[in-house]
Chains A and B, each alone.
Chain A
Amino acid sequence: MKRIAFISLVALGLSAAGASLLAQAAKVGGPAPAFTATDDRGVTHKLADFRGKFVVLEWHNNGCPYVQKHYNSGHMQALQKTWTDKGVVWLTIASSAPGLQGYVTPEASQAFMKQAKGAPTAVLLDPTGALGHLYDAKTSPQMFVIDPKGTVVYNGAIDDRPSPDPSTLQGATNYVANALTEAMAGKPVSVPVSVPYGCTIKYAGGR
């Protein structure tokens, strides 16, 4: 796992400052780690392209019951639409390795989002897990909110109901919507971090 992460760091053009760099990655209040990644339509995106906008990262595995809670209900798609309409860049990320749950080919990824009527800005395909490891993403779903200056202002669960049961959507506090609302109003994010819940991300070679 460490070897893959090292190679990925070098490949992404970052200096390999050792384990402490990974440990500091994606800390709330710190800079969002720079990345370059390709989406399911073959388009390459850099985080730096989105400087000046809010960016949401949504770790995703369409076979995971916790993710299905949010997609089968249309809840995640509604969030994507609401916030992209307000100018937020929403990046859905699949970090599962080939052969493991949640892995999608570009075609399968497009087909899933089409039938789900999802509205992310792009779906990034990360089968090597490099992007997931860079952010130390642990579960699907797990959410990050990055402000227009490139600072991580939220890292954690999508809401306060750590269960795959669809009935728990009712009355849930959505940490992502709240973080975006507060940050856009220039206020401090009142819940900047929470314990992410979901299925473990099915990384190549384990985490």
Chain B
Amino acid sequence: MRAWLTALIVSGLTSLPAAAPHARSAPTGHAKVTLIADATTVAAGDPTWIGIRFVLDDGWHVYWRNPGESGTPPTVRWDLGDSTRRVGNLEFPVPERLVSNGDVSYGYRGEVVLLAPLRVETGGALGAQPGRSSDPALVRATVDYVICESVCVLEHASPSINIAGARAKQPAPDAPRLASWRARLPQPMPATWHATASLGTAEFTLTIETGHRETAATFFPQNPAEIDDGATAARVEPIGRGLILHLKKSAFFSKVPDALNGVVVLSGGSAFSVHAPLRGKIAPEAMFPRNYSGSNFFSEEAP
């Protein structure tokens, strides 16, 4: 609401900005969804970080990019207000593992800010001048999200925020909040670390080598068809130079991946993006018959 008021005052409009065609919002929604930014402006150079902030009703949760055993992650369509602007992919902070009645999902309770970098296209076909000043233009996000307690609801929100073009990025009051949520994005793994995976009959192993013994880890898989989500908190085997995670195969596993991708959270809470290429021989029993045809079938699980 405040963003609209600012738009009225600052740009001296006497009529309300045109309602976005998808400006639906559930009046009895279970989250307050707003747009925040770390700057009131966007300039050439550093991106301005935009956040979709969800403040969730007590007991409700929304989902990570891989929702786990149920649910769907939020989706967003952007209206950037200015044709010289570009927005990057939505980034998801490290989720929680949510266990409810035996169902395991990956998501967020309380509050989460999903992040995207806003940039100005400089030069090129659009001929925009770097650092050109421009009037504030409304950035609007049309957000669809599944939010659940014991039951799930599909909700919609269309929050907006004014961002002007300027020569230099001017910090906004929400800059510290954006910075703290950016710090909760998984970091790239340090160059000296290694991650590899292997596939057995009943489980994947994920070996993470950090250079010293690790005793605890949680793995959040990027792809839903590989790991049994119910087992992602299971067997951690510390080794001298890191640890090995034993991850039961999904009941819906059907294709051997090139790598295990996801996020690993180590003891202490530090979180890293993992890309662990599959190494070693894959036993025929680990394969899934891609084209089931009558009796020609491997039993894939050891009793």
**Contact present for A207 and B103 (CB under 8 Å):** yes
Are B292 and A192 in contact, with the CB atoms below 8 A?
yes
Q: Which residue of B lies closest to A18 (CB)?
A: B303
Asked whether A139 lies within 8 Å of B69 as measured between CB atoms, the reply is: yes
Nearest-neighbour CB distance to chain A for B223, whole angstroms, equals 9
- Contact of A207 (CB < 8 Å), options: B101, B153, B297: B101
Residues in B whose Cβ lies below 8 Å from that of A205: 101
Query: What is the 8 Å Cβ interface bit string for chain A, positions 105-129, against chain B (1 contact, 0 not)?
Result: 0000000000000000000000000
Report chain A residues within 8 Å CB of B102: 1, 203, 206-207
Residue positions of A touching B, CB distance < 8 A:
1, 20, 23-24, 27-30, 63-66, 100-101, 136, 138-139, 153, 155-156, 162-165, 188-190, 192-200, 202-203, 205-207
A-B contact pairs, 18 of them (CB 8 A): A29-B292, A64-B152, A65-B152, A65-B153, A65-B154, A100-B150, A138-B69, A165-B154, A188-B293, A190-B290, A192-B289, A194-B254, A195-B225, A200-B103, A202-B101, A202-B150, A205-B101, A206-B100
Output the least CB separation between A153 and chain B (Å). 6
Q: Which residue of B lies closest to A207 (CB)?
A: B102
Contacts of A194 in B (CB 8 A): 225, 252, 254
Q: Which one of A63, A155, A156, A200 has the highest number of Cβ atoms from chain B below 10 Å of its Cβ?
A: A200
- Minimum C-beta distance from A151 to chain B (A): 8
Give chain B's interface residues, CB within 8 Å of chain A.
69-70, 72, 75, 100-103, 144, 146, 148, 150-154, 224-225, 250-254, 288-293, 297, 299-301, 303
- Report the nearest A residue to B303, measured CB to CB: A20
User: Which of B150, B154, B299, B301 is within 8 Å of A164, CB to CB?
Assistant: B154
Check if B254 sits within 8 Å of A193, measured CB to CB.
Answer: yes
- Of A24, A188, A206, which contacts B291 at CB under 8 A? A188
Which A residues touch B253, using CB under 8 A?
Answer: 193
Q: How far is the CA of A207 from the CA of B117 in the complex (A)?
A: 40
User: A-B pairs with the 8 shortest C-beta distances?
Assistant: A207-B102, A206-B101, A188-B291, A29-B297, A200-B103, A188-B293, A206-B102, A20-B303
Are B151 and A199 in contact, CB atoms less than 8 angstroms apart? yes
Alpha-carbon separation in the docked complex, A163 to B250 (Å): 20
In the bound complex, CA of A134 to CA of B225 (Å): 21
- Within the assembled complex, what's the spacing in Å between the Cα atoms of A183 and B186? 44
